[in-house]
Amino acid sequence: MNNLNNIQSFSSKLLIVFGFALFALPLMDTALWFAATLFNSQSFQSTFPIEVTLPLSFSRSMLGYLPSMLPTLLSCAILWQLILLFRLYKKGQVFTLDNTIRYRKIANILIMMPFVQVLSDILLSIALSYTEDNVEGGFNISDSEISMLVIGLIVRVIAKVMEEASLIREEQELTI
């Protein structure tokens, strides 16, 4: 029972962190996007899928903002699923089918992440080059996107293990 209390206590603390991150992540990404595209800041290095001259016009910056936020939205979706998962842990529900659903959704989002990143890069390169003589489309695949895919597959296996554990727990509760 002490382990369950530890899980519940730790879950309460993580819920605060995840809630803050869910709020802060899109705000920080928005601030960084506009700081990088509207001001020629030497404070940080920004990269784009195509060659661009900074600062961008406000309209080009706004047009590029939408596709640049796609990966951030997926990260927020993962954070939301983690919040839902750790709410269950906080209630003491560790091996349940609801947990399995959360793990499966997290895995699916992680698996989608590299594909959405490629889509985001293509849409961003089109948005940033639409006023040029020729519209460009480009994308990069990095090892972090491949890592997300592999991690997503691993979490998918963990979801299956959690599903089996919840079924075993249910069987044990029904056994006299």
Query: Which range, 53-57, 76-80, 132-136, is most confident?
Result: 76-80
Mean pLDDT of the chain: 91
Q: How far apart are CA 77 and CA 105, in angstroms?
A: 9
User: How far is Cα 16 from Cα 122, in angstroms, rounded to an integer?
Assistant: 35
Contacts of 171 (CB under 8 A, 6+ apart): none
CB 92 within 8 A of CB 8: yes
Q: What percent of the chain has pLDDT over 90?
A: 66
> What is the spatial distance between Cα 156 and Cα 152, in angstroms, rounded to a whole number?
6
pLDDT(44) > 80: no
Q: Report pLDDT for 172.
A: 87
Which band of pLDDT confidence, cut at 50, 70 and 90, is reported for residue 1? low
Six-digit token string for 30: 């928005």
- pLDDT value at residue 161: 95
Give the contacts of 135 (CB within 8 A, at least 6 positions apart). Answer: 126, 129
* N-terminal to C-terminal alpha carbon distance within the chain: 21
- Structure confidence at residue 132 as a pLDDT band (50, 70, 90): low
